[in-house]
A = this chain, B = another copy of it.
Amino acid sequence: MSGIYGINVKMSIYGESHGTSIGMIVDGLPPGLKLDLAAIEMEMLRRAPGQNQLSTQRRENDSFAIQSGFFDGYTTGTPLCVVIKNSDQHSKDYSILKDKMRPGHADYAGYVKYKGYNDYRGGGHFSGRLTAPLVFIGAVAKQVLKEYGILVGAHIFSIGNIKDKAFNQLGVGDKLFKELQRKAFCVIDDVIGNRMQENILKAKEAMNSVGGIVECMVLHIPAGIGAPYFDSLESHLSHALFSVPAVKAVEFGDGFDITRLTGAEANDEMNYVNGEVQTLTNHNGGITGGITNGMPVVFRVGIKPTPSIGREQHTVSIGGQCNTTLAVSGRHDPCIVPRAVPAIEAVTAWIVLDLLLEAKKLER
């Protein structure tokens, strides 16, 4: 299998880049949720391609058509199905890819897994285009979380070696999240953001691509969400995050850096502030023992440079069973990181909602 996840809010995704449509079924949403469709559209637009020179020139407005589970402005509680039509496909661009495997891509792994029957056009089912349904469910999840006061935000933490400011883990407020969501290029420091954009355009000109890191935070999440072992918040978040194409690394709190601290440095000391337990630092990123401790949940996600590049590279011809070279033509993103930001936020909101419902279930 490949396309179903979630304990309480289950998502089934489907679709290929050049098929009739992509979409999903969400099962487990509570009934009576008044969906703000304009807000969902805005989230979809943040991810949509073709908006500037930094992304692929494929134009998809990603307009969605809700098929079910939504009636008179409210969720019904039954499965909610969303269909997003594919429109601006140039399938011919991809015909060569039936035979030549793109280095760094899923082409060869998919060819073996699906025994050559998979739709190779535009990456088929592997296409980053399938993050659109993820953004939809994330947008809905954000609306539910807002009822509980929980906010999810992310920014481009780095492009190549250029780094944005980090979320000041204890001082960041809701205001920054709102600003970030309005920005066309989602960084805290716009001067650094300009350098990042130049870097991306330079790679584009050089028929190359660049990667980067996204930092994400969940604010006002209560303590007690998650579980030890297999339902840890870290397990579920990483499971969903590694489902986003191109993600190669996930770290919570200080992540790999915490391995270089001593226990005395790494332990987040605790105290009461206005009757609430807080920690003085947040090296653990708001999660201990797989469960939230009341501090902001913070993590970083490493995203590799787009594998589709115009430069010629060595690869194999599956039909000829011989070596060859390939320069990937067609439209592609010189850097997928900016468009990954809303996808990262989306899977985060979904998983947090999923485990929030899990916790509610046990209340008596």
In the bound complex, what is the Cα–Cα distance between A67 and B310 (angstroms)?
31
Instruction: State the CA gap A5–B25 with chains docked (Å).
Output: 13
Contact A13 B79 (CB under 8 A): yes
Tell me whether A94 is interfacial, beta carbon within 8 Å: no
Any B CB within 8 A of the CB of A60:
no
Is A240's beta carbon under 8 Å from chain B?
A: yes
Q: Does A357 contact B (CB under 8 A)?
A: yes
Query: Does A213 interact with chain B (Cβ within 8 Å)?
Result: yes
A247 to B209, CA, bound (A): 31
A259 CB contact (under 8 Å) in B213, B307, B322: B213
Give how many copies assemble into the complex. 4
Task: Report B-chain residues with C-beta under 8 Å of the C-beta of A254.
Answer: 248
B322 touches A272 (CB 8 A): yes
Contacts of A363 in B (CB 8 A): 30, 360
* Residues B249 and A256 in contact, CB atoms below 8 Å apart: yes
A291 partner residues in chain B, CB cutoff 8 A = 106, 109-110, 112-113
B30–A362 CB distance below 8 A? yes
Residues of chain B lying within 8 A (CB to CB) of residue A65: 20
A174 to chain B, nearest CB (A): 22
**Complex: A215 Cα to B262 Cα, angstroms:** 20
Interface string of A165-177 (1 = CB under 8 A from B): 0000000000000
Q: Chain A interface secondary structure, helix, strand, loop or mixed? A: mixed
Contact present for A103 and B289 (CB under 8 Å): no
Contact (Cβ within 8 A) A227 B1: yes
| Contact present for A3 and B117 (CB under 8 Å) | no
A69 near B: Cβ within 8 Å?
A: yes
Q: A103-B279, A105-B289 are in contact. Are A130 and B229 (CB under 8 A)?
A: yes
CB-CB under 8 A from A269, the residues of chain B are 103, 313-315
| A108 B235 Cβ-Cβ under 8 A | no
Residues facing B in A233-266 (CB within 8 A) are 234-236, 238-243, 245, 247-256, 258-266
Interface residue A31 (Cβ < 8 Å from any Cβ of B): yes
- Residue ID in chain B nearest A123 by CB atoms: B289
Give the complex CA separation of A68 and B228 in angstroms: 15
Cβ distance A343 to chain B, nearest Cβ, rounded Å? 12
**Shortest beta-carbon distance from A202 to chain B in Å:** 10
Task: Please name all residues of chain B whose beta carbon is closer than 8 Å to the beta carbon of A258 when the two chains form the complex.
Answer: 211, 248-249, 302, 304-305
A249 contacts B250, C-beta separation under 8 Å: yes
Whether A211 lies near B12 (C-beta < 8 A) is: no
A328 vs chain B, min Cβ distance (A): 10
Pull 19 A–B residue pairs with CB atoms less than 8 Å apart, ordered by A. A1-B231, A2-B78, A3-B25, A4-B4, A8-B361, A12-B12, A15-B68, A21-B68, A22-B67, A71-B117, A103-B267, A109-B292, A113-B224, A113-B225, A160-B260, A208-B264, A259-B303, A261-B304, A272-B316
